[in-house]
Amino acid sequence: MKRSSNSRRYSEVWNYFKVSRNDSSKCICTICSKHISRGKCVSNYSTTSMLKHVKFIHKINLQQFSAPTNKHSITHTASTAEETIETPEKRCHFDTSHTATHKITKLICEMIAIDFLPISMVENEGFRRLLNELQPSYVVPSDKYITRTILPDIYSSVKQKVQHSIKNAAGPVSATLNIWSSPENNTYLCITAHMIMWSRGSLEHVSYILACKEFNTSITHNRICQEVAWHEKDWNTKFHFIVSEDSPQIVNALKLGEIDNIKCMEHALNQIVLHSLQEGQQSVNDVVVKARAVVDHFQQSPKDCQKLKEYQEQHNLKKHNLVHDDPTWWSSTFKMLTRVVEQKEGINHLSLNEGLCGTLGATEWKLLKSVVVVLEMFEVAVKELTGSDANISHILPISCGLQKKLAKLLEDMGNGELFGIGKFVTDLKEQIELRFKKPTADVSQPETAYFQSMGIYNTCALAAVLDPRLKTSWALDEVEQIYLEKLLEQRCNKLFEESQAVEAPQLEKEKVRPKEPAGFNFSLIFDSTNSDSDDETLEEQKPLEKLKVDIRNYVLSPPVKRSKNPLQYWETYRFDCPTLFALAMTHLSCPATSVTSHRLFNPTKVVMSPLEKELKPNQVEILTFLHTNIRKLNYVY
């Protein structure tokens, strides 16, 4: 009796494999494209190796054969029409070239990078059940396949997109550089790139992570210089400036490599405030120590902490916890002091009614509140410096502005607004004046000085002048204003001459002078006073004269509103004032701080999280690179 074709035995593993066209003894996995042997000859062909592959590599358990084998089975299948319809769909899985497979796998990898999830999550039963429910035809790739194939491919695509952005920047590319150590005692060097770009007809600041590379050797000056040079070559660019923390190791290395280095303004302010808090006025240091002890008590006493929460609830106070500080960062201490002052009522209540010891007296509370008022100015300054569009144009105006405000506080000290912190304010003012002092040409600066050379000072000063919201309004005196105007004119003239030198050879090639016909004398048309040479000289002078007028008009016109975007301002004048526009693009792209690097090293990021121990150094670099850059590219790469 002839067997029905419906009773033919069928292996589900063929949903994941296809026979190789070149060699029928081999089959190809549709998930990872690996070639698997079926056997040495046709009589020995089996699906055993295929089943093992999908089971151990892709974590898919299959029965070797499945098909209706008797009348009952056929009847049962026919009686359940819906199941009969669904079964072929579930058996038919997408291969790796399928559009849906590519899209879902890409989204999974993006989720891993954006949220810093462990790559091993793709092996989790719950995750696989979820995806199977959402798309039964999709097969989740293994963690090894994602690590070795998918993530490197995405990294390569994103890198090409970033390289294209760097190549098409509207001005020079600047960078930030930082070196950090993780809880696993691994040292990483992080480099970010900053530039101005055209986007849909408008200028905007753009930044990308270029590297978060592990240092597996000792950190030396030469090693740092080599890394910078390697990344410049890898990204096919030359960093205009490099912003770094005030670490002698980095500063000296960049000096050795003759790389223009601008110190991180946030670090500079941190050193100033910490010096005044810890080594300035003794009574200020004492009250900070006492406030820290109060916070320690509540963090170590769940009972009193609960009582403080109950008091907040009963009296409609802000429901904030007291927070401890990191003594190495003034902003952390400021946050701690702000919370203590905010919860003064509750702390005093517990002190009087619950016998809480070691709290502050009336004079100490007044002193602490005054310290918070002064530090608020520095908090505002840091927020301005670390904004998304902040650049080196903010450095001198903020340092000068802080000097003016601190001087005003000292004048008003006797009016009762501040209490008992005259020496503290004086010390802050003196520290700012000392560290941000204008350098003298050809005179070496102390290591604590922010401006290590006249060139760096002029760069920051020129950036401030080219910010249409600031111009020369921040200068402390008229002498400095005159200096800034002359500096702008000198740099514009130099840039103009350089552009003319580049254009001149090309113009000479394009220029075609008509030959004088025989018997025709040009002097009959043009007299000697309007000779060709005189006319050319006049034409050369006109752009230079126009440039002087443009500079004068720019300096004399009032600054635009602070809410205006300086890049939008220069968009308007890029054709009318091309030299000023080019100079602005050169100086307004460099950030004032290395905060973009700092953010990669907070506890929520991969370098500082427990996830780091599960990854190899190159995987840390890839995930960190993708974490920031794919969002900046709006997931288009």
pLDDT, tens digit, 9 for 90 and up, residues 548-588: 999 999 999 999 998 899 999 999 999 999 999 999 999 99
Residue range 460-467: mean pLDDT, rounded = 97
CB 93 within 8 A of CB 13: no
Helices 330-342 and 282-300 meet at what angle, rounded to 10? 70
430 vs 285: CA distance, rounded Å: 18
| Cα 608–chain centre separation | 16
Tokens linked to 156: 């390569």
Alpha helices in 386-453 (DSSP H): 395-411, 422-435
**3-class DSSP state of 358:** coil
pLDDT at 504: 53
Helices 282-300 and 302-314 meet at what angle, rounded to 10? 100
Residue range 396-410: mean pLDDT, rounded = 95
For residue 254, pLDDT beyond 60: yes
3-state secondary structure 582-613: HHHHHHCCCCCCCHHHHHHHCCCCHHHCHHHH
pLDDT at 525: 31
Tokens linked to 609: 């999280």
Q: Which of 333-347, 427-441, 529-543 has the lowest mean pLDDT?
A: 529-543
Alpha helices in 530-565 (DSSP H): 532-556
Higher pLDDT, 545 or 73: 545
For residue 513, pLDDT beyond 50: no
Residues 6+ apart with CB under 8 A from 304: 297, 298, 350, 354, 356
β-strand partners of 191: 177, 211
pLDDT, tens digit, 9 for 90 and up, residues 171-225: 999 999 998 887 777 888 999 999 999 988 899 999 999 998 888 778 888 899 9
The separation between the first and the last C-alpha atoms of the chain, rounded to the nearest angstrom, is: 61
- Of 192-201, 410-419, 521-530, where does the model show the most confidence? 192-201
For residue 82, pLDDT beyond 70: no
Q: Which of 57-61, 145-149, 577-581 has the lowest mean pLDDT?
A: 57-61
Tokens linked to 197: 């770009």
Q: Which of 46-55, 320-329, 461-470 has the lowest mean pLDDT?
A: 46-55
Domain spans, the chain: 5-91, 94-263+594-637, 268-416, 437-504+544-590
36 vs 474: CA distance, rounded Å: 73
pLDDT at 582: 95
Q: Which residue has the tokens 């130099």?
A: 494
pLDDT at 85: 35
Q: Which of 381, 384, 566, 546 is nearest to 465 (CA)?
A: 566
- Of 120-124, 352-356, 386-390, 596-600, where does the model show the most confidence? 120-124
For residue 74, pLDDT beyond 90: no
pLDDT, tens digit, 9 for 90 and up, residues 257-314: 888 999 999 999 999 999 999 998 999 999 999 999 999 999 998 998 999 999 999 9
pLDDT at 602: 64
Measured from the Cβ of residue 33, the count of other Cβ atoms closer than 10 Å reads 12
Higher pLDDT, 270 or 3: 270
AA letter at 606 = V
For residue 502, pLDDT beyond 80: no
Higher pLDDT, 82 or 94: 94
Residue range 437-455: mean pLDDT, rounded = 88
Alpha helices in 116-220 (DSSP H): 125-134, 143-145, 151-167
**Running DSSP on this structure, what letter comes out for residue 34?**
-
**In the chain, % of residues over pLDDT 70:** 85
CB 456 within 8 A of CB 584: no
β-sheet with 26-29: strand ranges across: 17-19, 26-29, 35-37
260 vs 455: CA distance, rounded Å: 9
Q: What are the two backbone dihedrals, phi and then psi, of residue 434, each rounded to the nearest 5 degrees?
A: -70, -45
